[in-house]
């Protein structure tokens, strides 16, 4: 029970870790401090964690990584919307 609670708390922190960056990007309409390499590398890692969670049928891993992947997708969308690759 304790380990499940620790896992759920860790998952919650991870799931919502990109919300402040998303809010800032929306507010400032700028992504100048966002690294696209980091976004794509982290997205690949989160996707693999999601696949792992599915293979283990672990709901905490599945939900945490699915939500995290969605927030990363939003941030990647904002990166391109606000011209992150323009020089």
pLDDT in tens, 24-45: 999 999 998 899 999 999 999 9
DSSP state for residue 43 in the 8-state scheme: H
C-alpha distance from residue 64 to each of 27, 32, 77 (Å): 26, 27, 20
Distant-in-sequence, close-in-space partners of 67: CB < 8 Å, separation ≥ 6 = 15, 16
Q: Which two tokens stand for residue 19?
A: 């919300």
Query: pTM for the complete prediction?
Result: 0.87
What is the phi-psi region of residue 42: left when phi exceeds 0, alpha when psi lies from -120 to 50, beta otherwise?
Answer: alpha
pLDDT tens digits for range 40-58: 999 999 999 999 999 999 9
**CATH class of segment(s) 2-81:** mainly alpha
């Amino acid at each position: 029970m304790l380990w499940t609670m620790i896992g759920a708390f860790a998952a919650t922190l991870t799931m919502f870790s990109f919300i402040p960056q998303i809010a800032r990007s929306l507010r400032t309409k700028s992504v100048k401090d966002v690294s696209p390499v980091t976004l794509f590398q982290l997205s690949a890692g989160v996707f693999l964690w999601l696949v792992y969670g599915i293979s283990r049928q672990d709901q905490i891993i599945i939900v945490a990584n699915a939500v995290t992947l969605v927030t990363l997708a939003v941030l990647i969308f904002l990166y391109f919307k606000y011209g992150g690759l323009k020089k």
